[in-house]
Amino acid sequence: MVPIMAVDIAFIAVNYNTRALVEELIRFFATCELPFRHCLVVVDNSSTDGSREMLEQAQGDGLVYIQANENLGYGRGMNRGMAAVASRYACVMNTDLILNREALVALWEFFESRPEAGVASPVILGSDGRMQGFLSFPGLLLLYAPTLSKIKSKLWKLRVAKARVPLRVPGVLGAFFMIRRSCFAAPLFDEDFFFYYEDTELAHRYWEQGVPCYVLPQVSIIHTGGQSTSAAGGKLFQQSRRIYIEKCYGAPHTAWLATLDRARLRMKYYKYRILSCFVKSGKIQRKYEYYARLVQPDD
């Protein structure tokens, strides 16, 4: 694909049936004055909610719209968006974000003043105002000990909360981050991942290659979304997790960790099954039904 536009920063989002969220992003970039050349790239993964018609009408004036004929998944869709635009920097982002000018300008100024930086992110807050986590490497021990992983993530959050200047971190989550494109070969994402863990594999790659990654503690954005609560989403998460482990740590660890994961899921299933017998709670019932579907073998 020949790039159709040259800008300083390309903001790239992959859409699948999130029309209202994409409309908010379009409105934000249409009204926000930024001190650099930029465009919004939206790759639509064959949505059925009217996104296609809306994007066809809205394209132009800084909006690049790419229509896929199928659901490409997140990584493939993002790679399509990357290939469409020539830019010095690229911002990978979800559609379920509340952005602000201060954070985007701070990222731009940071990259312009720090030529060694390859990846950077503002602090990402959930809808509840809580800071979302960071990735840690090497991660094999953390995969075997999820509690240790949670502790390490909390320690990074404390360090970031206390920081007053950009802080180097092992890796950032994929909801929103900016890269210096010269630091990465195309395609950016490994297309073996349909959804989930493509950001973890990328972070593992740039950590191994020594590409510096930073978080800017003085600015933040809001990520309103969260993990899927459907059993189908849970199974896809487990599948992507296995792909990641095999790519980064090898087949033996993949088999051992898959066995541990199945045991953990079954323990949670029995926990909520027992609780649902004694506690009449909609939340507990939903958890029980979720894990009941999740532990069922695939057809």
Residue range 6-223, CATH number: 3.90.550.10
What is residue 297's predicted lDDT score, i.e. its pLDDT? 79
Cα separation, 177 vs 129, whole angstroms: 19
Residue bearing tokens 């021990």? 141
Q: Got the DSSP string for 82-121?
A: HHH-EEEEEEEE-SSEE--HHHHHHHHHHHHH-TT--EEE
What is residue 6's predicted lDDT score, i.e. its pLDDT? 85
Please give the C-alpha separations between residue 186 and each of 80, 90, 191, 238, 289, in angstroms, as whole numbers.
10, 12, 11, 26, 41
What is residue 135's predicted lDDT score, i.e. its pLDDT? 86
Beta strands 86-93 and 176-180 are antiparallel
Cα separation, 197 vs 242, whole angstroms: 9
Please give the C-alpha separations between residue 94 and each of 88, 166, 177, 256, in angstroms, as whole numbers.
20, 23, 10, 32
Residue bearing tokens 């800084």? 62
Q: Got the DSSP string for 24-56?
A: HHHHHHHH---SS-EEEEEEE-S-SSSHHHHHH
Cα separation, 121 vs 177, whole angstroms: 5
What is residue 146's predicted lDDT score, i.e. its pLDDT? 87
Nearest alpha-carbon partner for 49 in 22, 74, 27: 22
pLDDT in tens, the chain (299 residues): 545 668 999 999 999 999 999 999 999 999 999 999 999 999 999 999 999 999 999 987 799 999 999 999 999 999 999 999 999 999 999 999 999 999 999 999 999 999 999 999 999 999 999 999 888 886 788 899 988 888 998 999 999 999 999 999 999 989 999 999 999 988 999 999 999 999 999 999 999 999 999 999 999 999 998 554 567 788 899 999 999 999 999 999 999 999 999 999 999 999 999 999 999 899 999 999 999 999 987 65
Global pTM value: 0.91
Q: Can you read off the two tokens belonging to residue 134?
A: 């960071």
What is residue 228's predicted lDDT score, i.e. its pLDDT? 47
- Amino acid letter at 282? G
Residue pair 24/54 in contact (Cβ under 8 Å)? The answer is no
What is residue 5's predicted lDDT score, i.e. its pLDDT? 63
Beta strands 63-67 and 176-180 are unpaired
